[in-house]
Amino acid sequence: MPENTGPTGSPCGSSVLVTGATGNVGREVVDRLRARGARVRCLVRGQGGRRPGVECVVGDLTDPGAVREALVDIDAVFLIWPLLDVAPAHALIAELTVAAPRVVYLSSTAVDDEAVRQSDPIAHVHADMEALLHDAGLRPVVLRSDTLASNARGWVAQLRVGDVVSGPEAARTAVVDERDVADAAVAVLLAQHDQLDHGPHVLTGPDVLSRADQVARLGAALRRDLRFHALSADLARSRMLADGRPEPLVEALIAASVRRPESTRTTDHVERLTGRPAGTFATWALDHAAEFS
């Protein structure tokens, strides 16, 4: 998809607000926007979220005043909704409607457009957010991401003390590199209006993988004999709660692991948006091996 570029190939005055800028995808989006010469602003929850060379507004998406300040002179917004409830999003939607930027929303491939009820709370909140944005007339560009490769970072602590990753089993999905998701997001954030496709764009990796498959590929990258040990839902729940995770999040993660169906779908949507094929989890593992040592 062509970018909104001038004679030198750099974006023409593009100003982008990035939410979730300290997360796995958000960090990559910020770096890519800056590399392409866009003016980047981040909405961060505290001073610790500030990044050198990036304009920041301190606040969160449930604070209309902070959102209003962050949206001043902004052309496009990369939106990640971090809560399991969309009720607090109504004030955000109102501010977006007034400011009328291009909205690129990061959703999930777990959303089923044909379902009366989504499989789990995480898929449900994404479906509700998509509906809210559409109903407000914002015409969001929807990026539905499959399981992010970066979720494997949650195994770092276990792999620093042993060769077994324990956790709840999950249905196989086409795991996608968060860098590919970020490249796709930047492509639509900076695209010319007459070239914009609102989607939904279904962003997947090229391989459908189980948790055991991912652990095996990570082991190959680390040159270690790693294995995955599936925990029952009850044991996984108790361990996550003991680790200090909020109970609503734990219940949502358990519901997703138990109820979400397998997805064997792979698409070329990353390539359509970025001009290159999606990378493999094996490549991601090699590139991030040092994080697990």
CA angle in degrees (0–180, nearest 5) for 188-186-45: 115
Q: Retrieve residue 130's tokens.
A: 């998509």
Residue 114 clears pLDDT 90, i.e. is over it: yes
DSSP alpha helices (H): ranges in the chain? 24-35, 64-70, 89-99, 121-135, 156-159, 178-189, 211-222, 233-242, 247-259, 269-274, 281-287
Q: What is the arithmetic mean of pLDDT over 255-269? A: 94
pLDDT value of residue 47: 67
The token pair at 202 is: 């279904």
Query: What's the 3-state SS for 95-161?
Result: HHHHHCCEEEEEEECCCCCCCCCCCCHHHHHHHHHHHHHHHCCCCCEEEEECCEHHHHHHHHHHHCC
Backbone phi, psi, residue 86, to 5°: -95, -5
Reduced to 3 states, what is the DSSP secondary structure of residue 289?
helix
pLDDT (average), residues 243-250: 94
- What pLDDT is recorded for position 196? 79
pLDDT digits (tens, 9 = 90+) for 281-293: 999 999 999 999 8
Average pLDDT for residues 272-287, to the nearest whole number? 98
CA gap 255, 60 in Å, rounded: 27
Average pLDDT over residues 186-194: 90
Segment 139-156 mean pLDDT: 97
Q: Report in angstroms the alpha-carbon separations of 242 from 1, 120, 151, 233, 237.
A: 46, 22, 19, 14, 9
- The mean per-residue pLDDT over the stretch 34-55 comes to 84
Q: Quick one: how far is CA 67 from the chain centroid?
A: 20
- Kindly report which listed range (122-126, 128-132, 257-261) carries the lowest average pLDDT score: 257-261
Torsion angles phi and psi, residue 192, rounded to 5: -65, 145
3-class secondary-structure state, position 44: strand
For 15-147+178-203+266-276, which CATH superfamily applies?
A: NAD(P)-binding Rossmann-like Domain (3.40.50.720)
pLDDT at residue 192, rounded to an integer: 85
Which pLDDT does position 8 carry in this prediction?
33
Give me 5's structure tokens: 């570029």
Cα–Cα distance, 199 to 143 (Å, whole number): 7
pLDDT at 77 over 80: yes
pLDDT, tens digit, 9 for 90 and up, residues 50-74: 777 789 999 999 999 999 999 999 9
Residue range 202-214: average pLDDT? 98
Report the chain's mean pLDDT, rounded to a whole number.
Answer: 92
Reported as a pLDDT band with limits 50, 70 and 90, residue 279 is very high
How far is residue 62's CA from residue 88's CA, in Å, rounded to a whole number?
6
